[in-house]
A = this chain, B = another copy of it.
Amino acid sequence: MEIKRQPTVLDVARRAGVGTTTVSRVINGGERVSAKTFASVNRVIGELGFVPNLAARVLKGERSKTIGLIVPSIADPFFASCAEVMQKVARSFGCLVVVCVTGNEPALELENIESLYRRVDGILIAPSHATNKPLNERLDSLAIPVVSFDQPLRHVDIPGVLTNNYQSAKEMTRHLLQHGYERILCMGGEATFYTMLERTRGYTAAMEEAGMTPAIDTAPRIRSDEETAAVLARHISSPTPPRAIYCLKNTTTIQTYDALQRFGIKVPQQIALAGHDDFLLASSLRPSVTVVQQPVEEIGRTAANLLFAKLAKTPDKSTTPPGHGARLVRLRSKLILRASCGCEEAAPGHLLSKFKSAKSAAQDKGAKGAASPGETIS
């Protein structure tokens, strides 16, 4: 465990009998260096365990090889999955990712941007409010590439990746209507967010298109389990109880599902249910839950790639603000029709027989290591 000072380019240079420039060239790919010196310098680098000091590089105007990710919450499965892919994309570009969570508080969003600024090469952000003026302006003046996802940034020249919230909400509502349900309630919290607004719009459009009266019950803040249950109870007890419910967001869907269970209400026989955003176990619940599924990983990958594309276009050190070319990429969500909306449950029956045949095949070492390669994470 040597506590010696970390070796520098100068140490390497001396030991290799060359100048510091040559060392610098070698660690940067070895342009304009003879194969011989290249090799010998590289050897010395190995011997000394030399690692270039990033701070010094950055000070010289090089990139920090780090990008920032700003999300409302990293514990939220949606953002967690996004972060995972983004991290992978970043690593493929030799970049690290620093994660900031905002809890959807504009003040924290701004604060995070400040602490990220001049420490990262670019920023990926899932803003809480599309029209946050100070945020928009600050991001616009940043001189490093920014890409938004999940929600767009209005009024500024910043590209973003989002899904067709409006369209898919409309389709889901239509589907509910096709089941013959007339009174369809739209429930959710965080009603002020862009995504929620879009979904509400889609719901309303489908209802009006069918000549039905939209019934929307949202709250500005995310609702607790108990709040959701109380709201639901009120609607159920009303003279015109809903025949179906469309939830704007997966936590609402889960809370609603849970409350319906507790109330002893049969889904979908008494009240049908559909939600926006898929969630783990949605297919394992009985009844399984019908949802609009967003292409989460694709969102993350697309946003990250967009950012690195901008980074690639802007030569190092150029302080030039990201040129005009803002684009909104809109990805398509899918309707996953399961049982809670009234569609047939995928025959739950005794599928055991299906696996019986596997029995002999897997009889080897207790199925040990019979791992199918990669990407299992679905």
Assembled-state Cα–Cα distance A354/B262 (Å):
11
Is there an interface contact between A369 and B80, defined as CB atoms closer than 8 Å? no
Is there an interface contact between A87 and B101, defined as CB atoms closer than 8 Å? yes
Is there an interface contact between B51 and A362, defined as CB atoms closer than 8 Å? no
**A122-130, A277-285, A327-335: which lies at the interface:** A277-285
Residues of chain B with a CB closer than 8 A to A73's CB: 84
Residues of chain B with a CB closer than 8 A to A356's CB: 233, 237
Residues of chain B with a CB closer than 8 A to A196's CB: none
- Name the residue on B nearest A355 (C-beta): B233
Residues of chain B with a CB closer than 8 A to A173's CB: none
Q: Which of A76, A258, A356, A370 has the most CB of B within 10 A?
A: A370
Contact of A118 among B54, B88, B369 (CB under 8 A): B54
Is there an interface contact between B236 and A352, defined as CB atoms closer than 8 Å? yes
Residues of chain B with a CB closer than 8 A to A91's CB: 100
- State the number of copies, please: 2
Assembled-state Cα–Cα distance A351/B279 (Å):
26
Is there an interface contact between B74 and A377, defined as CB atoms closer than 8 Å? no
Assembled-state Cα–Cα distance A178/B366 (Å):
24
Interface residues on chain A, size class: 35 or more
Q: Which parts of A105-142 form the interface with B (CB within 8 Å)?
A: 114-119, 140-141
**Is A81 located at the chain interface by the 8 A CB criterion?**
yes
Q: Would A119 and B96 be within 8 Å (CB), given that A80-B74, A230-B367, A376-B222 are in contact?
A: yes
- Name the residue on B nearest A52 (C-beta): B118
Mark A72-84 against chain B: 1 for CB-CB distance below 8 A, else 0. 0111110011011
Q: Which parts of A187-205 form the interface with B (CB within 8 Å)?
A: 191
Q: Which parts of A268-292 form the interface with B (CB within 8 Å)?
A: 279-281, 283-286
Is there an interface contact between A371 and B263, defined as CB atoms closer than 8 Å? no
Q: Which of A117, A321, A352 has the most CB of B within 10 A?
A: A352
Assembled-state Cα–Cα distance A220/B98 (Å):
31
Assembled-state Cα–Cα distance A218/B235 (Å):
48
Residues of chain B with a CB closer than 8 A to A215's CB: 366-368
**Is A217 located at the chain interface by the 8 A CB criterion?**
yes
Residues of chain B with a CB closer than 8 A to A216's CB: 368-369
Mark A51-93 against chain B: 1 for CB-CB distance below 8 A, else 0. 1011110110000101000000111110011011001100100
Distance from A154 Cβ to chain B, minimum over Cβ atoms (Å) = 17
**Is A261 located at the chain interface by the 8 A CB criterion?**
yes
Q: Would A99 and B119 be within 8 Å (CB), given that A219-B369, A231-B367, A263-B350 are in contact?
A: no
**Is A226 located at the chain interface by the 8 A CB criterion?**
yes
Knowing that A66-B119, A221-B371 touch, tell me 10 more A-B residue pairs with CB under 8 angstroms: A51-B118, A53-B118, A55-B56, A75-B83, A77-B80, A191-B371, A220-B371, A229-B355, A261-B348, A262-B348
> Can you list 20 A-B pairs with a CB-CB distance of less than 8 A?
A3-B319, A3-B320, A55-B58, A75-B84, A80-B80, A84-B101, A87-B99, A217-B371, A220-B368, A226-B377, A230-B377, A234-B355, A237-B355, A237-B356, A238-B363, A254-B284, A258-B283, A261-B284, A264-B348, A281-B281
- Residues of A in contact with B (beta carbons under 8 Å apart): 1-3, 5-6, 51, 53-56, 58-59, 64, 66, 73-77, 80-81, 83-84, 87-88, 91, 96-101, 114-119, 140-141, 143, 191, 215-227, 229-238, 254, 257-258, 261-265, 279-281, 283-286, 319-321, 348-352, 354-356, 358-359, 362-363, 366-378
7 nearest A-B pairs in the assembled complex, by CB-CB distance: A233-B355, A55-B58, A221-B371, A75-B84, A80-B80, A219-B371, A264-B350
